[in-house]
A and B are shown apart, each in its own frame.
Chain A
Amino acid sequence: DAGITQSPRHKVTETGTPVTLRCHQTENHRYMYWYRQDPGHGLRLIHYSYGVKDTDKGEVSDGYSVSRSKTEDFLLTLESATSSQTSVYFCAISENRAGYSNQPQHFGDGTRLSIL
């Protein structure tokens, strides 16, 4: 199994509070991704990173920011959490650009976030 650790695994917080989710990898892969999973939508990309300090937006980036100061860590921050951000968040990694190569993405175990 790919070495991907997400923390925390579960979190309950209140509307308006900041929340940071962490993804840590031991594979030294260049590309890292944050997705959210919602019923009827499958997986939607929030932000991704193509190297240290290199990040870009995905399809549902509003209300989220990311940072990558080290190859192994990719942080997702909700500056002021809203109830619409209640979801399961998955981190993924890939050696090359997943949409262009014959290598798959590998996923972490997910973080279940509830915002009350």
Chain B
Amino acid sequence: ILNVEQSPQSLHVQEGDSTNFTCSFPSSNFYALHWYRWETAKSPEALFVMTLNGDEKKKGRISATLNTKEGYSYLYIKGSQPEDSATYLCATGDSSYKLIFGSGTRLLVRP
């Protein structure tokens, strides 16, 4: 089974801090990399889907980059706010194109 790793597992930052975390995945047979934001007691919400090496996506204060050759993606949050507190999941496709999820990075932003 394809292995998707996310680091760190959890992160506590102060309001206003910028932060970033990593998603690592096998670089062979790559098709797509997904990022989801998952607030407690809610359902995961799609942030980005990236398919090309060098892709960069941005949504407000959140951005993501993709390196398919070395098998990693970074998610950046600029000027973190308490409402950014959530678990951030990444996922990529396996050989039959099902999504395999990492275990997530839990972000807590303190006011």
Contact = CB atoms under 8 A, between A and B. Distances in A.
Given A42-B102, A45-B98, A100 B44 contact: no
Nearest to A56: B96
A104 B35 CA distance: 9
Contacts, number: 71
A97 B100 CA distance: 12
Contacts of B44: 43, 90, 107
Contacts of B97: 97-100
B32 A99 contact: yes
A15 B102 CA distance: 30
B49 interface: yes
A43 B93 contact: no
Interface of A: 33, 35, 40-45, 48, 56, 58-59, 90, 97-110
